[in-house]
Amino acid sequence: MLYAPPPHIADMIQTIRQFLREELYPLERIYIPRGFKGAEEALAPLRQKVKKMGLWAPHMPKEYGGLGLSLTEFAYISEELGRSVFGHYVFNSAAPDIGNMELLLAHGSEEQKERWLKPLIAGEIRSCFSMTEPEHAGSNPVWMSTTAVREGDEYVINGHKWFSTSADGAAFTVVMAVTDPDAPKHRRASMIIVPTDNPGFVLEANTPVAGHVGEGYFTHGEVRFVNARVPVSNRIGEEGEGFILAQERLGPGRIHHTMRWIGIAERAFDLMCRYAVQRELAPGDPLSSRQIVRAWIAESRAEIDAARLLVLDTAARIDEQGAYAARNEISEIKFFVAGMLQRVLDRAIQVHGGLGVTDYTPLAYWYGHERAARIYDGADEVHKMVVARRILREYEKHVS
């Protein structure tokens, strides 16, 4: 098998798979309709159980309480955790926390690591990331109006953000703000930590998504910064490095997302196949006997397998050569896997019929929330344009 997980990862996968099946799957039907607050009380002891199992924060170094897995090794784990709505959260490797952990680990000061990173890894606090603005196209991230004006040893931050995922209940946000409006466009902004108890941080609302406002971790917050004053020491990295750090954060983050999507697709595939052989259209006439259902199953299997190989190949290249060398692949996996996920979920729902659009399975939940996979983290169209442009540049060099 190409790209089979190494033995120590394979054993871990089996342990995680059993844990999800026994502990998390039963909670989904009960808690998806009730939201995060309804699930939080039941999930808290399971998070402690994961710690005792030695599987906590698998993406983090061992000296910080994680498992010290490489990006490629964690990719296998991310797929497995993606099979449950609660998987990444219970194992403390959910976005946006995972990206903020990696950001602070690589570029945070010792003070920032002590105050924010360590409790974040320990699961004592949550975080969010504030970048997208409702007034500007998210496909052009360098165009933003949020500013951080330096006054002595402080930044004064003003601006409006939305889709600050998990802002509800977060202890801090990492905000992208313009610190030098006259600099070249990719050197204008910086990343700055703003505690959510800062008087200038205002969580205006949890944005309704697919008919659900959400609560706690499962939310997308609309945030305003109103003369929010923070020390200059809250800046991550050097001034003007915001987009450089964002690009560095992007490669591993793309692996996390796409492997999670593959895990969702695998769960949807499993549900689809089980239902197809069990559901009868008439006595002795299972749904699986229909040619179109068999075609959907075959197409889904091929598409999931292809997506996995592409993502694992990209993860291996990032591990070996760095994110810049894999920039084309990083864009390719984004639109390829997002499209695959939407198709597989749609087929699974169609096979389930009316059941597929209820909350008795996680399919409708994923279909509503993961449709955004083709938008967030860079719209698919932008990634396709970027990949094609790079490919064509190479051909243009040889045109006489």
Q: Please tell me the distance from the alpha carbon of residue 351 to that of residue 172, in angstroms, as a whole number.
A: 42
pLDDT for the residue numbered 100: 96
Query: Strands 172-178 and 220-231, how do they pair?
Result: unpaired
Pick 127-236's CATH classification: 2.30.110.10, 2.60.120.10, 3.40.50.1370, 2.40.110.10.
2.40.110.10
Query: Strands 127-130 and 172-178, how do they pair?
Result: parallel
Q: Please tell me the distance from the alpha carbon of residue 168 to that of residue 214, in angstroms, as a whole number.
A: 9
State both tokens at 386.
Answer: 């970027």
Tokens 């259902």 sit at which residue?
Answer: 293
Q: Please tell me the distance from the alpha carbon of residue 219 to that of residue 166, in angstroms, as a whole number.
A: 5
- The whole model's pTM is what? 0.94
Q: Please tell me the distance from the alpha carbon of residue 145 to that of residue 160, in angstroms, as a whole number.
A: 8
| Single-letter residue type at 223 | V
Q: Please tell me the distance from the alpha carbon of residue 213 to that of residue 195, in angstroms, as a whole number.
A: 23
Q: At what angle do helices 71-81 and 291-321 cross, to 10 degrees?
A: 150
| Single-letter residue type at 312 | L
> Rounded to 10 degrees, what is the CA torsion of 192, 197, 202, 206?
100
Tokens 């990696």 sit at which residue?
Answer: 102
Identify whether the C-beta of residue 144 lies closer than 8 Å to the C-beta of residue 100: no
Architecture of domain 7-121: Orthogonal Bundle (1.10)
Domain spans, the chain? 7-121, 127-236, 243-396
Per-residue pLDDT tens, the chain, 400 aa: give them.
567 888 989 999 999 999 999 999 999 988 887 778 778 889 999 999 999 999 999 999 999 999 999 999 999 999 999 999 999 999 999 999 999 999 999 999 999 999 999 999 999 999 999 999 999 988 888 899 999 999 999 999 999 999 999 999 999 999 999 999 999 989 999 999 999 999 999 999 999 888 778 888 888 999 999 999 999 999 999 999 999 998 887 788 899 999 999 999 999 999 999 999 999 999 999 999 999 999 999 999 999 999 999 999 999 999 999 888 999 999 999 999 999 999 999 999 999 999 999 999 999 999 999 999 999 888 899 999 999 999 999 999 887 5
pLDDT for the residue numbered 2: 63
Hey, which bits of 72-195 come out as E strands? 127-130, 147-151, 154-165, 172-178, 189-195
In angstroms, the Cα distances linking 273 to 154, 203, 276 are: 58, 43, 5
Q: Residues, the chain, total? A: 400
pLDDT for the residue numbered 398: 84
Q: What is the CATH number of domain 243-396?
A: 1.20.140.10
